[in-house]
Structure 1
Amino acid sequence: MATMPDRFWNEAIETLSPGEVRRLENERLTEQVAYDVATSPFYRAKLDRAGVTADEIRHVEDLARIPFMEKGEVADSQADGTLLGINQCAPLDTIVRIQATGGTTGQPMRIGLTRRDIADYGEVGARALWAMGCRPGDIVFECMNYNLYAGGLSDHLTFETLGAATIPFGVGHSERLLRMMAGLRDPVGIWATPSYAVRLAEVAAQLGIEPRSVGLRRGYFSGEAGLQVPGYRERIQDTWGMVARDQYGTGELGLHSGECEEQNGVHFGGVGIAIAELIDPDSGEVLPFTDGRQGEVVYTSIRRQACPLLRMRSHDLMQVFTEPCPCGRTSFRFRILGRSDDMFIVKGVNVFPLSVQAVLMRLAPRVTGEFRVVIDRPPPIDYPVPLTVEVARDVPTAQHEALAREVATRLQAELNFTAAVTLVGPGTIATEVKTRRVVRTYRGEVVQ
């Protein structure tokens, strides 16, 4: 439903005033909670235990009366073979798609969608992609995982909703992908994780292909927060000669949020589809949406039929921006600071993967910026943290030991923790799939 002039995909929604957004949220919240309680024993019991009736939830502020829910609750309810679990609200004969979250913090969670849910998913995705510069007729290679996960089929269809010529390539077969791109006369784009752009450049180098000759001119990146690390975006853009744009999304609700040309945070794309609350991750206290505020985001569906979510903690820590954006979109903007469940604590110091990556990027081009932390025993972490770091191809082996010491010294000076650094060759960590930065093997997590 692109509007003219072509600054917005859905101008009516993307330029609502704050007051208009709140009225829309309140109206749809009232309808959604009534629906949830009428169709789900889980949600009825949840409100009963809180001493709240559906009729009392009429405004966004009323949500604070309802306890949070966790993704693990839904995943656990599916462990006995139940297809969709405790938050299924629509009958199975109206559910036409089942996908799963990525399971980066535990068991993947299955999610059902009705036809209207799928249409909403495509609408929100198109808003984000339009902000990122994608247009009808653009050629885009979709290089996310089509095996169950939203980044594949469902995200593919957001490009189709917008009108892009979308090629369902998937993950793996990087050599074939490069040769196919290079064999086309027209410039192309890619939908992938940012670390895959790094990996793909390494494969090109191994094949003797100059990345800029491939014709990859636009990158639509999601699944990782790498583009928010100073130097990482620039490295990808310089390597490929492309424009790289960032997108945030959630497998549970979609909520695609795209970065406009101003590059001053991603625009929340879920207006009218979900409510975002900001909370203190420790106390659970609701925080005001004021410019620069930091907190954990909590999501509530307000237009979901199959598997709605009611105050689901995301564990994504973000900083929000509410000052007007020159692009004209009026939704709040944000940048991801990290995940509370990716954070690890070393002798009382909170360490986030994005902070580690930022330190490594200041050592580029000698290191690629790719890394992995493997924690093999439960807390406390009172020992040097095992850290594997990719070294650039042209760094002589004789210099590796000194470089590893330099990495450790920088991390100690800037982040105040001690690391046991091991250097590995380029392409060892960055792969075709989402790169997992922190792996806790003592929990049964597996290094991919």
Structure 2
Amino acid sequence: MYWNKTYECMPREQLEELQLDRLKKMVNRIFHQVPFYREKFQEMGIDPGVVQSLDDLKRLPFTKKTDLRDNYPYGLFAEPLSKIVRIHASSGTTGKPTVVGYTRNDLAMWSECAARSLVCAGADANSVVQNSYGYGLFTGGLGIHGGAERLGASIIPMSGGNTQKQLMLMRDFGTTHLTCTPSYASFLGEALADAGVDTAKMPLRAGIFGAEPWSENMRRDIEKKLNIKAHDIYGLSEICGPGVAIECQEQEGLHMWEDNFIPEIIDPHTLEALPDGETGELVITTITKEGIPLLRYRTRDITHIIAEPCACGRTHRRIARITGRSDDMLIIRGVNVFPSQIESAMLDIGEIEPHYQLIVRREGTLDTLEIKVELSESLSLNTISELEGIERRLKERIHSIIGISAKIMLVEPKSLPRSEGKAQRVVDLRNI
């Protein structure tokens, strides 16, 4: 099932012609309407005419998150405020937020992408979508909301938090699709079990989860707890929010809506473009945005492009599941460590829950990693040696994946902090 088959299944040659035409117009706009980009081009000795093919994209400058902060609040806008109908901002915890403005056409484009994404997860006009992403400056809530309205689905604008009310509405309103962070989905699954709810008797059939990295093991855990099919969705405030890319029913990567966004993969160290299939940092160029078009935006998200055709019939290339971020990646004893790697290793063990906390310390000149992880509620241990056995297997499994040793601390079920938004997985106590 498709929302907009004409665009979603457009032949690659035709899609790339459309991309090039839109890219040329976008580059011309930012050169003439955004001083920041004009200065960048002039420093490099180039002008908009340099773009004659999609391959010429790599000749253009990057945009970083710091560029948005340095031009706070409206310095990167390509339209006057009189044409900006909505403003969102990032939820950063330090410094000034990144500010993004939307014209009416931008909101229409965003709703279109979000509607396509909902359909990829099996939603239609008869669906009841419980939207448990946060509303407000965060783009998650309103992004999904616009897509559901565009689709004609019934949207429940629940926002995050108030878990007991979430459960009540889920049952009473007949929710078919749940949207929230994967960590909160797992938490809701626990809460339903605690309430004695049989999820098999609920109409809930699919979930659309994003805003934080998660693993295949966590997907299986959520699907088991909620009795649903869990879809990974990708978006970021600077580009537009949720709906940049999503898994279709095949769940073999996330289709990026390439009539609006051009993805690239670069080596985050050399900044050189990498071929399809190689893992690196995702870079996105917006080619239809009016309010704040971004050229080669460095997302810091680590993935690779899947160029092979998808069995669903959509021709837009896919990105693999995000494995982490190049800027919040932990470097421990010279080793790059992503929390999602450790999460996957933990769930392979099978006797623990997907609730954990990584604590990094520096003792003298040596970094240490401690992992607190909850035991499964269903686990019945009779001896200390059984507990030690779980610790040993987990320690060996993590060492085999990340190459360093970690101290394992098994804790009681539900003893670690829960989050109704993005889970706080890492506590870095090093002064670096």
Same fold (TM over 0.5): yes
Contact preservation (8 Å) 2:361, 2:369? no
Out of 174, 189, 208, the residue aligned to residue 220 of structure 1 is 208
Q: 1:339 to 1:392 in 2, by over 3 A?
A: same
Partner of 1:3: none
Which range is displaced more, 213-222 or 422-431?
422-431
TM-aligned CA deviation for residue 130 of structure 1: 1.3
TM-aligned CA deviation for residue 18 of structure 1: 2.2
Out of 307, 312, 318, the residue aligned to residue 327 of structure 1 is 312
TM-aligned CA deviation for residue 122 of structure 1: 0.7
Partner of 1:174: 163
TM-aligned CA deviation for residue 123 of structure 1: 0.9
Q: 1:232 to 1:380 in 2, by over 3 A?
A: farther
CA distance in 1, matches of 2:55, 2:364: 38
Partner of 1:246: 232
Partner of 2:76: 87
Q: 1:380 to 1:150 in 2, by over 3 A?
A: farther
Q: Per-residue CA shift, 1:281-335, capped at 9, x if unaligned?
A: 221111233xx33221111121111111111111111122111111111111121
TM-aligned CA deviation for residue 387 of structure 1: 2.1
Contact preservation (8 Å) 2:102, 2:290? yes
Partner of 1:149: 138
Out of 27, 39, 50, the residue aligned to residue 44 of structure 2 is 50
Is it true that 1:64 corresponds to 2:58 in the alignment? yes
Partner of 1:194: 182
Q: How does 1:279-294 map to 2 (within 5 A)?
A: 279-289=266-276, 292-294=277-279
Determine helix, strand or coil for the equivalent of 2:168: helix
Partner of 1:339: 325
Determine helix, strand or coil for the equivalent of 2:233: strand
Which range is displaced more, 394-403 or 251-260?
394-403
Is it true that 1:23 corresponds to 2:13 in the alignment? no
CA distance in 1, matches of 2:20, 2:364: 44
Determine helix, strand or coil for the equivalent of 1:135: coil
CA distance in 1, matches of 2:20, 2:104: 24
Counterpart of 2:3 in structure 1: which amino acid?
A: W
Q: Per-residue CA shift, 1:15-37, capped at 9, x if unaligned?
A: 12222122111111111111111
TM-aligned CA deviation for residue 408 of structure 1: 2.5
Partner of 1:371: 356
Q: How does 1:270-281 map to 2 (within 5 A)?
A: 271-281=258-268
Out of 369, 375, 383, the residue aligned to residue 367 of structure 2 is 383
TM-score (norm 2): 0.91
CA distance in 1, matches of 2:369, 2:180: 29
CA distance in 2, matches of 1:267, 1:70: 23
Count of aligned residue pairs for this structure pair: 425
Contact preservation (8 Å) 1:29, 1:58? no
Q: 1:144 to 1:61 in 2, by over 3 A?
A: same
Contact preservation (8 Å) 2:282, 2:304? no
CA distance in 2, matches of 1:87, 1:442: 35
Is it true that 1:348 corresponds to 2:331 in the alignment? no
Q: 1:174 to 1:295 in 2, by over 3 A?
A: same
Q: 1:345 to 1:405 in 2, by over 3 A?
A: same
Q: Per-residue CA shift, 1:40-91, capped at 9, x if unaligned?
A: 111111111111112223332222222212112212332xxxx33x311110
Determine helix, strand or coil for the equivalent of 2:349: coil
* 5+ long unaligned stretches in structure 1: 1-6
Which range is displaced more, 54-63 or 435-444?
435-444
TM-aligned CA deviation for residue 443 of structure 1: 7.7
Determine helix, strand or coil for the equivalent of 1:154: helix
Contact preservation (8 Å) 2:114, 2:143? no
CA distance in 1, matches of 2:35, 2:290: 15
Contact preservation (8 Å) 1:299, 1:312? yes
Out of 268, 280, 301, the residue aligned to residue 295 of structure 1 is 280
TM-score (norm 1): 0.88
- CA RMSD in angstroms comes to 2.4
Is it true that 1:257 corresponds to 2:245 in the alignment? yes
Determine helix, strand or coil for the equivalent of 1:286: coil
Q: 1:104 to 1:64 in 2, by over 3 A?
A: farther
